[in-house]
């Protein structure tokens, strides 16, 4: 089982709609969860971090975490063409010897259609 799983997409939504991106993780001991946005040819940009069960809102973005179900999601309200990018789910896992490593999913490509 892959450690962090995402639907690769592409996910297409019309402009103004809500885009819903989902992620599951396998390590039940994971404590920190992140969403990154990566435009083509660019490096990843941290857009949301979440550590507790429930919802966390930041502007048009809402991250949702359910540790019992090992599930993280990202909602993008009022989607804009500029939101078209690959969204990476990332989870901190303990990698031994006091080290913690960020493990990425393969990413979901979002396309917002004008």
Rounded Cα distance, 86 and 104, in Å: 12
Site for other proteins in 76-105 (CB under 8 A): 88, 90, 92, 99-102, 104
Q: How many CA atoms lie within 13 A of 19 on its CB side?
A: 29
Q: List 28's β-bridge partners, or say none.
A: none
Binding residue for other proteins, selected from 2, 42, 59, 78, defined by CB under 8 A: 42
Contact flag: residue 4 with other proteins (CB under 8 A): no
Q: Toward other proteins, which CB reaches closer, 18 or 42?
A: 42
User: What whole-number distance in Å separates Cα of residue 58 and Cα of residue 53?
Assistant: 16
Q: Which residues bind other proteins (CB under 8 A)?
A: 32, 34, 36, 41-46, 49, 51, 88, 90, 92, 99-102, 104, 106-107
């Amino acid at each position: 089982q892959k450690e962090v799983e995402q639907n690769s997409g592409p996910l297409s939504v019309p402009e103004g709609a809500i885009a819903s991106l989902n992620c599951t993780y396998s390590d039940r001991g994971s404590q920190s969860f992140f969403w990154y946005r990566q435009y083509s040819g660019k490096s990843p940009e941290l857009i949301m971090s979440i550590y507790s069960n429930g919802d966390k809102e930041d502007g048009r973005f809402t991250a949702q975490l359910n540790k019992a179900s090992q599930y993280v999601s990202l909602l993008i309200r009022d989607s804009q063409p500029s939101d078209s990018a690959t969204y990476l789910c990332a989870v901190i896992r303990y990698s031994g010897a006091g080290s913690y490593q960020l493990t990425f999913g393969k990413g979901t490509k979002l396309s917002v259609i004008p």
